[in-house]
């Protein structure tokens, strides 16, 4: 029997079902007829009031089409937001295609979309290139969707597992190869750890999830993880699979596996997750609330209206889960297209609002701390 740990949520059971939860469906929703404002029939004010009050927190634009592409990590959040927004604002059509961070950023920089979604902030060369699309301005990063990156595992008889950053780094770099290794036993006193091989699983495709996980390892355990941080996996060896869905399926395919993916995959497949020993009084498991606390530890590192976040990966803040991923919406600070700007500002103001953020926990995302969301709303209001 293992000892209980304070603040832990115990989950039992798991499934080996390999149902893909990331089948990418374009999120383009059929546009509704444009509602007139202030027509001769005298009911324009009533229609405007109905749209604004249909969902709290939405101040509708009159009309417009807003195309966006990018990160699949925010797919479910975008789907929810679009449904809510278009239900309140039938004159606006929002379309989001989750084709991946890299492709979404590239399409925005070509001027093909009104916004892009990316799991990593723009690089300096991309900002410079954006000046060709953003007339008299530049592209900026607005944090909008956040969530924990869970470390899932399949280990017989072990329902409660604690690891720290150096041990995770050595596991995923193939330096710790058995589950009864003294380093793991030290973190889990009283737990009967089986003597079976550790089978780490990483993404085979380039991904923002990989980049954020490696950034955590490099930031919290630099002596154990000396690899470059990027969207491509840099560690030594281990199994690989395409997409978070593939990694989750690989983790449940045989005892001893461990991998990383968004929390929704662990919840939906009932995969047990690791709690992280950050040095705080109690280990911290991945939940929307603990991830929000982790994001609150970040500081804004961007310049001007850019709100790129920089994380304190080595912080020992009680209740703050340290392995988090933030998806940014990429927009122009100035030079947005006139035909999309009102609807773009209206939609982003809603997604960053308290109403837009509060329901994300039910989708396994972490609502932005108000200290961050408030800054996003301020910047959205200045877009031109």
CA distance readout (Å), 154 to 13, 32, 140, 271, 272: 10, 47, 40, 7, 7
Least confident of 13-17, 49-53, 194-198, 249-253: 13-17
Q: What is the pLDDT of residue 55?
A: 58
* Tens-digit pLDDT profile for residues 126-167: 999 999 999 999 999 999 999 999 999 999 999 999 999 999
44-146+331-380 shares its CATH topology with 148-294: yes
Report residue 311's pLDDT band, with 50, 70 and 90 as the boundaries. Answer: very high
| Phi/psi at 336 (5° precision) | -65, 150
Please state the domain extents for the chain: 44-146+331-380, 148-294
Kindly indicate the confidence band of residue 2, based on its pLDDT and cuts at 50, 70 and 90: very low
Confidence class of residue 252 from pLDDT cuts 50, 70 and 90? very high
Residue spans of alpha helices (H) in the chain: 44-54, 75-88, 101-109, 124-130, 165-172, 182-187, 208-220, 243-251, 263-269, 288-296, 341-351, 354-358, 370-380
pTM of the shown model: 0.78
**Average pLDDT value for residue range 294-307:** 92
Pick one of 1.10.10.10, 3.40.50.2020, 3.40.50.300, 3.40.190.10 as the CATH number of 44-146+331-380. Answer: 3.40.190.10
With a cut of 60, say whether residue 52 has pLDDT above it.
no
Range picked from 64-78, 162-176, 234-248, 361-375 for highest mean pLDDT: 162-176
Q: At what angle do helices 75-88 and 44-54 cross, to 10 degrees?
A: 150
Q: Would you call 146 helix, strand, or coil by DSSP?
A: strand
DSSP, residue by residue, 304-317: TT---EE--TT---
Question: Looking at the predicted structure, is the pLDDT value of residue 125 above 90?
Answer: yes
pLDDT surpasses 80 at 46: no
* pLDDT exceeds 60 at position 212: yes
More confident residue, 31 or 359: 359
The CATH architecture annotation of domain 148-294 reads: 3-Layer(aba) Sandwich (3.40)
Separation between Cα atoms, residue 276 and residue 154, nearest integer Å = 17
Lowest-confidence segment of 29-33, 243-247, 255-259, 378-382 by average pLDDT: 29-33
Closest CA to 168 of 185, 186, 182, 151: 151
Categorize the per-residue pLDDT at 248 as very low, low, confident or very high, splitting at 50, 70 and 90: very high
Task: Give the separation between CA 276 and CA 196, rounded to whole angstroms.
Answer: 22
Per-residue pLDDT at 106 exceeds 90: yes
Does the pLDDT of residue 244 top 70, yes or no? yes
Quick check: 311 and 324 in contact, CB under 8 A? yes
In terms of Cα–Cα distance, which of 141, 87, 46 is closest to 347? 87
Hey, how many other C-beta atoms are within 10 angstroms of the C-beta on 187?
16
Q: How confident is the model at residue 192 (pLDDT cuts 50, 70, 90)?
A: very high
pLDDT digits (tens, 9 = 90+) for 70-96: 998 899 999 999 999 999 999 999 999
Determine the pLDDT at residue 44: 42
Confidence of residue 206 (pLDDT cuts 50, 70, 90): confident
Backbone angles phi, psi at 342, to 5 degrees: -60, -45
**Secondary structure of residue 45 in the 3-state scheme:** helix
The rounded distance, in Å, linking the Cα atoms of 194 and 175 is 18
């Amino acid at each position: 029997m293992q000892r209980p740990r304070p603040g832990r949520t115990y989950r039992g059971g798991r499934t080996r079902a390999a149902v893909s939860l990331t089948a990418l469906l374009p999120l383009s929703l059929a546009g509704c007829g444009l509602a007139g404002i202030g027509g001769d029939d005298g009911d324009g004010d009533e229609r405007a009031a109905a749209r604004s009050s249909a969902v709290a927190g939405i101040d509708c634009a009159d009309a417009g089409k807003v195309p966006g592409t990018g990160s699949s990590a925010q797919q479910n959040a975008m789907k929810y937001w679009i449904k809510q927004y278009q239900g309140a604002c039938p004159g606006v059509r929002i379309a989001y295609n989750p084709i991946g961070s890299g492709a979404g950023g590239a399409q925005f920089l070509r001027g093909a979309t009104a916004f892009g979604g990316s799991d990593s902030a723009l690089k300096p060369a991309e900002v410079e290139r954006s000046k060709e699309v953003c007339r008299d301005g530049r592209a900026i990063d607005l944090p909008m969707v956040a969530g924990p990156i869970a470390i899932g595992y399949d280990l017989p008889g072990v329902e409660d597992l604690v690891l720290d950053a150096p041990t995770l780094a050595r596991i995923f770099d193939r330096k710790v190869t058995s589950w009864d290794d003294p380093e793991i036993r030290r973190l889990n006193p009283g737990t009967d750890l089986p003597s079976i091989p550790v089978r780490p699983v990483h993404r085979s495709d380039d991904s923002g999830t990989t980049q954020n996980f490696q950034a955590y390892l490099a930031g919290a355990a630099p002596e154990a993880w000396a690899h470059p941080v990027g969207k491509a996996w840099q560690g030594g060896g281990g199994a690989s699979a395409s997409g978070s869905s593939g990694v989750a399926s690989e983790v449940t395919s045989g005892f001893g596996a461990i991998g990383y993916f968004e929390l929704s995959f662990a919840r939906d497949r009932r995969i047990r997750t690791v709690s992280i020993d950050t040095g705080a009084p109690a280990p911290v498991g991945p939940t929307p609330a603990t991830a929000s606390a982790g994001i609150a530890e970040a500081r804004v590192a961007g310049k001007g209206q850019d709100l790129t976040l920089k994380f304190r990966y080595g912080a020992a803040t009680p209740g703050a889960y340290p392995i988090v991923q933030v998806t940014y919406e990429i927009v122009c600070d100035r030079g947005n297209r006139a035909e999309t700007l009102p609807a773009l500002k209206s939609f982003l103001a809603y997604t960053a609002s308290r109403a837009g953020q509060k329901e994300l926990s039910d989708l396994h995302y972490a609502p932005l701390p108000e200290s961050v969301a408030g800054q996003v709303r301020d910047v959205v209001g200045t877009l031109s």
